[in-house]
Structure 1
Amino acid sequence: MRVKSPMAKEDVKKRLSRIEGQVRGVAKMVDDDRDCHEIIQQLAAIRSAVQQVSLVVVRSYASQCLLEPQEGESQETIVEDLISVLSKAG
């Protein structure tokens, strides 16, 4: 499965770039001996951002694969694959 929608792809890329910046910021906070509370707060924000970008990708997957299955793919197989991927991510 690929993220085919140009809007979804751009959204995912923006979100990942923002997450990348947040991770760099936390690394700098550690280097600068910042307070653990501040670091944990930023890590929670990163975790939330990763969950949100995951939802964008899942929505794209659902709309593309469930609504437009490839030849020979049953919706049941697609749903099972999605559940498998989500259970590993959880």
Structure 2
Amino acid sequence: MKLENEIQETTESQAHCRKSHHPEPIKKDLTNRLNRIEGQIRGIKGMIEKDVYCDDIITQLAATQSALNSVAKVLLQGHLKGCVVDRLSEGDEEVLDELLVTIQKLMRK
């Protein structure tokens, strides 16, 4: 657990200095996906305010979670093919520890 905390602290501090470089079509796709998710969240909030049947709300929550997972998959794929490959080619093997922490975060769902 101590090692995991050290890795997480290191990656969080490093994350503040780095930027990703997504191609414009990927940025546009991610932004569109997130805009739809934002709309879904507003819709769920409205459903709760209108006392919609719980099962219907849960169905919408599941769809929203699936949409968020899709965004995470696109980002992870780009991260692996871009950032991770680049850093490994530069000899920076710490990126592997960072990647493990990231995968652990995704698997907590």
The residue that corresponds to 1:77 in the other structure is 94
Root mean square deviation, CA, Å? 1.9
The one-letter amino acid paired with 2:103 is L
**TM-score, normalised via structure 1 length:** 0.86
Alpha-carbon distance in structure 2 between the residues aligned to 1:80 and 1:34:
44
Partner deviation per Cα, 1:1-40 (whole Å, 9 max, x = no partner): 4142112111111111110000000000001110001000
User: SS of 1:68's equivalent?
Assistant: helix
Unaligned runs of 5+ residues in structure 2 are 1-18
**TM-score, normalised via structure 2 length:** 0.73
User: SS of 2:52's equivalent?
Assistant: coil
Question: Does structure 1 retain, via aligned residues, the 8 Å contact 2:88–2:95?
Answer: no
Alpha-carbon distance in structure 1 between the residues aligned to 2:28 and 2:81:
17
Answering whether residue 54 of structure 2 is matched by residue 36 of structure 1, we say: yes
| Identity rate, percent | 31
Moved beyond 4 Å, runs of 4+: 70-73
The one-letter amino acid paired with 1:17 is N
Alpha-carbon distance in structure 1 between the residues aligned to 2:87 and 2:52:
50
**Number of equivalenced pairs:** 89
The one-letter amino acid paired with 1:79 is L
